[in-house]
Amino acid sequence: MISKNNFLSATITFLFSVAILTGQQSGPAITDQSLEDVFWESLQKERAPKDSLVLWQEQVLLHTDKDILEPKEHLFFKAYVLTGPEQLRVSASDVLKVELLNENGQLVNSQYHKVVDGAAEGSFKVPKKTKSGKHYLRAYTRWMLNYGPENFAVKAISVQKRKSLSSVGNLDFGGIEVFPEGGNLIAGLENRIAVGFEKLGETQISVVDENNNEVAKVQNYGGGLGTFLLKPKVGERYSLLLNKGRKIPLPNSNAVGYTLRLNTIDDSKVVAKVASTKNLKDQDIYLRGRINGIKFFESKVDFNKNNEVEIDIPKGKLPNGVLRLQLEDDIDQVWASRPLHISNNELRLQIEETSNVEGRSLKIKVTDTEGLPVQTELSVALGQNKTVSTSKNSFDSVRNQRFLNDLLVLTNQLPADYALNKVTELPDEIRYNFQKGLEFYGRAYDLDAVPLTNTKIQIVVSGEGEAEAYEVVTNEEGLFELKNLQIEGEADMVFRRVAEEDRDKFVKVVPYQYETPPLNFEDKNGQQDLRSKQFIPKKQTAEFKPDENAERLVTLEGVTLIGEKLKAKRTPSIYNIEPDRVTYQNPERPRTIPELFLGIPGVQVVGLGSLNPRLVLPRTIGGGPTLWVIDGLPLIQPTSLNDIMSLVPFFDVDRIELLLGANATIYGTRGAGGVILMYTRNGMDENYFNRKKARLTFEGFHDSLSFDAYQGQLNSKRGKTEGSTVYWNPSLKTDENGEAVIELPKLSESGGITFDVKAITPDGKNGSLKTIY
């Protein structure tokens, strides 16, 4: 028996001894701990694998064809699974889970995809009823759960109608976001602010003060990226002045603080320029760089007489990934922070336009740091944006590419496309194994809702014209599991057991699933994440006093409950009227309809047993014909008992009610002679069982729509919308010269083409280019 507290050995290898299940059906959610406790014993019986594996962390990089889309649109993606400190494009996991979450972290939809050669690709349709606003595309493997949700690949997606752009993010005003480089604007110091504005087509943006005086201009670098320098005055408010006179206010500036600006274009180093307000010149401050809480760089900041200093950060001594640079004081307060992407194995991507007889085309060339061609696989997205002017950047300049990539990191457009963290330390406990196939687990019941414990269950899984049969044995709780399912698309699952009676053969199964991991962007130190736009002003060390009366909060665990609507076994009386007389059919020994009336006081049956029996109702009813109502439907008068016997089989009758006097007036003059209401069985009594309860739909690996097929659907329904993707290829291959050619589709004369390409080689070298051509 394997001890639950002895998963890790002193070495970096282990046997595959733990497998935690994941569900495909909607059903009760269970926490990791409860799942471990419930299934632990059953999981030990079949775990004796021979292979061992180095315990490296897996990370996922996401590349999508766009980041703004409407409900019912398809989002196309490529996911790279990287492993180990070198971030090799290889994975011990064969299954990738992809989720769409709303801004509150609630699951909108999810899919499973096969991981082949360290990558997976597919499409994600945004549900029709998805509300407008910020959403997140998230991808992770089972193994990544061991390291926490803060290490998942997460990419912000805006779902909105294109004709009415909505706000995305705290400082996003109708599609424009501003990013002070150090997190805050500091009065009296020169601040560098990045701007993202691609989707609005703003090409001329000015910065104005409260009197509408222009104090700066936004430098447009194409691709929706821009920057400007601003030295704000204390108490002065500033705004971005957009096209058509619209203003967007900038965040307030702080009178006390530090600025942090970086120059990333050098091959071997990053130059950090730190400036301080005068009242902080005597405070000790440190520049520190961390990835996932692990410190890789530290330098004490010693200011000169101008209260500013430049610090060199060697690139070669830093790991690949996104480093968080922070200015911290002696009590670990963060005064300024900004992300920095480090890639020492970067590929260099170049693009040029060519012409041929068939039309325009783009040639992509990939080389390594020494200029040698690289034969690899690219994922490429081209989009048309009529409102953005073409701004051709110098594709031959590697320094220019580094500068643009740094702006993408600063404006939150790149973190999801790169591994955010270096390999972290091994977690204290390994709870999740590498997933090799899809899995299903649930609890088995009979049709009377009694758990089937220690019972053999036969399961038939059918889909796409194929069917497979499985046999499992439930445990003492009625729980069971199916492992390593390789099912494409939807499949039906039918559950049976061996029994004499037909009703006892059917098995009802309630599927289980993990709770959705929280949407977590924080690192291990609890600092704000890369997507933070602004930091809370800090106190000077001398002024810092801990609040001894701070409120203590306790986090409560969430509980997920489900219920099943109870179905009435009898049809309720019409209008909820209490009948004057009533008689019930005996389903075990059913009586004929004339015999049923013998059980109603005051009612006589004349000619019982003859071919033409008739009813005699109490004299107190009054004159007029009797009204018959079958399951709420009044019949034409007059209707005889013989007509009723021909119309309704007696064994289908549930009960007969008699309305007299005032109760019968609900039917007006038609009820003057009395009303006889007959109800037939609704199928919910104990002799009926619903065979559909023994059937479930299983969601296998997602059968994604190809981009060409999707374009065909769009062309048949409507024209292309503004900002739509015109080309997507997740597997474009370069030749031995490191080149690949894309034939451009016919586009409008105005505007530009947004160009976004990613490349990751199996040995971990990566490159990226995002611009407008």
Model confidence pLDDT, tens digit, residues 505-535 = 889 998 887 778 888 764 433 343 433 333 3
Distances in Å between the Cα of 195 and the Cα atoms of 51, 222, 236, 535 are 51, 11, 20, 17
φ, ψ (nearest 5 deg) of residue 539: -90, 150
The tokens of 459 are what? Answer: 């399961």
- DSSP for residue 277: -
Of 297, 250, 251, 306, residue with least CA distance to 273:
306
Sign of CA dihedral 657, 661, 664, 666: negative
Measured distance CA(743)–CA(727) in Å, rounded = 9
The tokens of 710 are what? Answer: 């999707």
Measured distance CA(80)–CA(93) in Å, rounded = 12
Secondary structure of residue 321 in the 3-state scheme? strand
Of 558, 456, 554, residue with least CA distance to 514:
558
Amino acid residing at 613: P
Measured distance CA(715)–CA(707) in Å, rounded = 12
- Tokens 């997933």, located at residue: 435
Helix (H) / strand (E) element for 37: namely: helix 32-44
What lies within 8 Å, CB to CB, of 347 at 6+ separation is 366, 367, 368, 374, 376, 759, 761, 765, 766, 767
CB atoms within 10 A of CB 317: 11
Model confidence pLDDT, tens digit, residues 547-598 = 444 343 333 343 444 444 444 556 777 777 888 889 998 887 888 899 898 8
Measured distance CA(259)–CA(121) in Å, rounded = 41
Amino acid residing at 521: F
The tokens of 498 are what? Answer: 């061996």
To the nearest 10°, the Cα dihedral for 523, 528, 532, 537? -160
Of 379, 434, 341, 364, residue with least CA distance to 119:
379
Of 449, 582, 447, 460, residue with least CA distance to 501:
447
CB atoms within 10 A of CB 543: 7
- Tokens 């005055």, located at residue: 233
Query: If you write DSSP's letter for every residue of 198-266 in order, what string do you get?
Result: GGGT----EEE-TT--EEEEPEEEETTEEEEEE-PPTT---EEE-GGG-EEEPPPEESS-EEEEEE--S
What lies within 8 Å, CB to CB, of 502 at 6+ separation is none
Answer whether 118's CB lies under 8 Å from 91's CB. Answer: yes
Low-confidence ranges of the chain (pLDDT < 70): 1-54, 162-175, 198-203, 222-223, 292, 344-345, 356-358, 385-398, 413-425, 465, 521-570, 619-622, 683-691, 715-723, 747-752, 772-773
- pTM for this prediction: 0.66
